[in-house]
Amino acid sequence: MLDLILILGITLSIAGLVGAPFMHRPRPCRKEDTDASTSADLLLQKDTLYTAIHDLEFDFQTGKVDQKDYVELRQQLEREAVHVLRLLDALDPCTLLDAALEQHIALLRQHPTGISPISPAGACRSCGAVLQRDEPCCPSCAQEHREREEKYAVRPPA
């Protein structure tokens, strides 16, 4: 009887181990999984293209590839690499934020606000040296400070 139970237990264990992969349901594909695999594929493709460009450069320097073929192949590989890099950028959620920030910075550079840099009272705006009231220019950097003269000028009451 004990032998029968032991044989039945071993048989059920083997059947469970062999049949488990067939009983397992594949999980539904999620967006994160496809993004991760797409990103991994693109990174692999980028590395492959960079290696191909490096190998082409080496072959050209050693004389295995002539000038005309080198230029054509290099341009083709660079176009493919740029395309892959753009696809990788499109997958990165921070890329849109970076583009918006760069656009805002470019706009600010085109239209400056006219706000002068903040410097403590009695300090040069260029170098930060301490200024005396009667000094029209900085003793360190020779920057003129005419607005200081106007600020401290004594005017008769009107």
Same domain, 105 and 136: no
In a domain, 62, yes or no: yes
Question: Is pLDDT of 69 > 70?
Answer: yes
Q: What is the pTM of this model?
A: 0.42
pLDDT digits (tens, 9 = 90+) for 86-101: 888 888 777 777 778 8
Q: What is the pLDDT of residue 35?
A: 58
Residue 111: DSSP 8-state: S
Q: Which residues 6+ apart lie within 8 Å of 130 measured at CB?
A: 122, 123
Domain co-membership, 92 together with 147: no
pLDDT, one tens digit per residue, over 101-144 is 888 888 888 876 655 544 555 677 777 777 776 667 777 777 77
Residue 14 counted as domain residue = no
Residue that terminates a domain, selected from 112, 129, 145: 112
Same domain, yes or no: 48 and 83? yes
pLDDT of the residue at 63: 93
Same domain, 131 and 103: no
What separation in angstroms does the CA of 51 have from each of 14, 46, 56, 67, 88?
48, 9, 8, 19, 18
Domain check: are 100 and 133 in the same one?
A: no
Enclosing domain of residue 132: 121-158
Q: Is residue 1 part of a domain?
A: no
State CA 50 to chain mean position distance. Answer: 18
The pLDDT value recorded for residue 153 is: 47
Note whether residue 48 is domain-resident. yes
| Domain endpoint, select from 112, 129, 148 | 112
How far, in Å, CA of 87 to CA of 80, rounded? 11
Number of domains in the chain: 2
